[in-house]
């Protein structure tokens, strides 16, 4: 660890934000553990950014409270909270060099020059931009700018780092690379990361815990595996990964496409079995995706392993679908 992060546990108590008659966040209760990588995941308008801006201090709280290590920080201006923040689009200071950008938080705290220089060097090392200190932000690529924003936000060793869709502007390949770097930096600095995204893959691959949000409320909280394997609501099951929904004995079940076996008609085995017709097959390289029409049910999506699943079945083929009892997860509500 570069700096002992001495604190960083946050508690949101019945946090509510209303804009006129519109409720952007409704009575959100959440404990954020010291040092964890927590992701707020949801579609646009789900309240995740509102929540982040209230934590940062840029939005007033309508009701409720925010506690940092047990002390209320509601009503405290952003500059007093000492939280680092990485903005969408990075928001680097265009008139300052990379070094000046990173030194800024220490500069405004009037720290001694030698200390600032040493710390900036350390941060440039952390984000691997040693040779770029004297460039202006406009002379860097998107990925490099993103790393400068991260170094600047971590420079003053904040207990909490807030990240607002920091990878949104990067292309897909670069994004995966930066995800790994981000995860690595989190491990090394030990700061609490609160990460906002609408990208479910990002959330799954990086987080210690994910908070799925919808319409200003928390839908479900858990580790990526808990949320993927045991979604409690239809929204959670469909927003994080893909899912088929079945009704059986009046209850709603979620069934992941890759947990269904597909076989030519008559060859299916297992306790749960239906027959149908392949409407379409799409080839994704490692995965074959089948859309299967089953009489009396919604269309069922099946992901088959392209290597082990045998020869591809063409559209129009009659097939058997089967799955184990454990594969279908009973949902608590719609």
Partner 1 sequence: MNGSPLRRIGTGWLLVLPFLALVVALFLGPIVNILWLSVTDPEPGLGNYAALVTSDNLVGILWTTIRICVITTAFSVIFGYSIAYAMVHVAQGSRNQMLSLLLVSFWISVLVRTFSWLMLLGRKGLVNETLVNIGIIAEPIEFMRNELGVLIGMVHYMIPYAVLPLLAVMQNIDGRVLSASRSLGATGQQTFWRVYLPLTRPGLVAASLLVFILSLGFYVTPAILGGGKVLMVAEYISVQILVTLRWGTAAMLAALMLFGVLALLFLMSRFMKLSTIFGGAKA
Give me the least distance between CB of 20 and partner 1, in Å please.
Answer: 15
Does 77 participate in binding partner 1 (rule CB under 8 A)?
A: yes
Give me the least distance between CB of 77 and partner 1, in Å please.
Answer: 7
Stretch that binds partner 1, among 66-74, 76-84, 181-189, 304-312 (CB under 8 A): 76-84
- Residue 55 CB contacts under 8 Å (≥ 6 apart), including other chains: 10, 12, 66, 83, 160, 162, 194
Q: Given its phi and psi angles, is residue 242 left (phi above 0), alpha (psi -120 to 50 degrees) or beta? A: beta
Does 170 participate in binding partner 1 (rule CB under 8 A)?
A: no
Write the DSSP string, 181-224: HHHHHHHHH--EEEEEES-HHHHHHH-SEEEEEETTEEEEEE-H
Yes or no: say if 315 and 281 are a contact pair by the CB < 8 Å rule. yes
Give me the least distance between CB of 55 and partner 1, in Å please.
Answer: 11
| Binding mask of the shown chain, residues 106 to 135, with x at each position contacting partner 1 by CB under 8 A | -xxx--------------------------
| Token duo for residue 20 | 């006129």
Does 37 participate in binding partner 1 (rule CB under 8 A)?
A: no
Half-sphere exposure of 289 (CA within 13 A, CB side): 10
Stretch that binds partner 1, among 73-81, 171-179, 252-260, 320-328 (CB under 8 A): 73-81
Which of 40/85 has CB closer to partner 1?
85
Which of 89/133 has CB closer to partner 1?
89
Rounded Cα–Cα distance for residues 212 and 235 (Å)? 9
Q: Which of residues 137-156 bind partner 1 (CB under 8 A)?
A: 152-153, 156
Does 87 participate in binding partner 1 (rule CB under 8 A)?
A: yes
Stretch that binds partner 1, among 16-24, 77-85, 248-256, 300-308 (CB under 8 A): 77-85
E-assigned strand segments in the chain = 10-19, 22-32, 37-41, 63-68, 71-72, 84-86, 160-164, 192-197, 209-214, 217-222, 244-248, 251-255, 261-264, 272-283, 287-293, 300-305, 318-323, 328-330
Does 97 participate in binding partner 1 (rule CB under 8 A)?
A: no
Give me the least distance between CB of 300 and partner 1, in Å please.
Answer: 44
Report the residue from 19, 93, 283, 307 that binds partner 1 according to the rule CB under 8 A: 93
Which of 152/186 has CB closer to partner 1?
152
Yes or no: say if 313 and 306 are a contact pair by the CB < 8 Å rule. no
| Rounded (10°) CA dihedral 300, 303, 308, 309 | 20
Q: How many other C-beta atoms lie within 10 A of the C-beta of residue 25?
A: 28
The count of chain residues that interact with partner 1, using the rule CB under 8 A, is 27
Give me the least distance between CB of 171 and partner 1, in Å please.
Answer: 21
Does 91 participate in binding partner 1 (rule CB under 8 A)?
A: yes
For 50-69, what is the HEC assignment?
HHHHHHHCCCCCCEEEEEEC
Does 73 participate in binding partner 1 (rule CB under 8 A)?
A: no
Report the residue from 88, 229, 238, 277 that binds partner 1 according to the rule CB under 8 A: 88
Rounded Cα–Cα distance for residues 309 and 287 (Å)? 9
Stretch that binds partner 1, among 36-44, 100-108, 170-178, 234-242 (CB under 8 A): 100-108
Does 268 participate in binding partner 1 (rule CB under 8 A)?
A: no
SS3 state of residue 240:
coil
Eight-class DSSP state of 263: E
Report the residue from 89, 168, 270, 310 that binds partner 1 according to the rule CB under 8 A: 89
Residues forming the site for partner 1 (CB under 8 A): 56-58, 77-79, 82-85, 87-89, 91-95, 104-105, 107-109, 152-153, 156, 162
């Amino acid at each position: 660890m570069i700096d002992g992060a001495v604190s960083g546990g946050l508690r949101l108590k019945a946090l509510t934000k209303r804009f006129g008659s519109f409720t952007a966040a409704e009575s959100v209760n959440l404990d954020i553990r010291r040092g964890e990588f927590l992701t707020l995941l949801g579609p646009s308008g789900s309240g995740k950014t509102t929540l982040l801006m209230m934590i940062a201090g840029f939005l007033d709280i309508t009701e409720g409270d925010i506690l940092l290590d047990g002390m209320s920080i509601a009503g405290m201006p952003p500059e007093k909270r000492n939280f680092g923040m990485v903005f969408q689009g990075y928001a680097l200071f265009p008139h300052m060099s990379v070094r000046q950008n990173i030194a800024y938080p220490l500069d405004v705290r009037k720290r001694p020059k030698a200390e600032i220089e040493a710390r900036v060097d350390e941060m440039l090392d952390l984000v691997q931009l040693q040779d770029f200190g004297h460039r202006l932000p406009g002379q860097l690529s998107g990925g490099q700018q993103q790393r400068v924003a991260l170094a600047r936000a971590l420079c003053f060793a904040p207990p909490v780092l807030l990240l607002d869709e920091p990878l949104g502007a990067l292309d897909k390949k670069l994004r995966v690379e930066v995800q790994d770097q981000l995860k690595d930096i989190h491990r090394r600095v030990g700061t609490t990361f609160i990460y906002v995204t609408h990208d479910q893959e990002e959330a799954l691959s990086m987080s210690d815990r994910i908070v799925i949000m919808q319409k200003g409320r928390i839908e479900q909280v858990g580790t990526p595996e808990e949320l993927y394997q045991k979604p409690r609501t239809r929204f959670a099951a469909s927003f994080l990964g893909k899912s088929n929904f079945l009704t059986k004995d009046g209850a709603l079940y979620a069934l992941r496409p890759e947990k269904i076996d597909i076989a030519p008609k008559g060859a299916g085995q297992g306790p749960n079995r239906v027959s149908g017709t392949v409407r379409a097959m799409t080839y994704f390289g490692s995965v074959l995706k089948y859309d299967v029409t089953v009489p009396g049910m919604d269309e069922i999506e099946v992901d088959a392993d392209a290597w082990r699943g045998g020869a591809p079945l063409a559209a129009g083929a009659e097939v058997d679908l089967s799955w184990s009892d454990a594969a279908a997860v009973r949902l608590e509500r719609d």
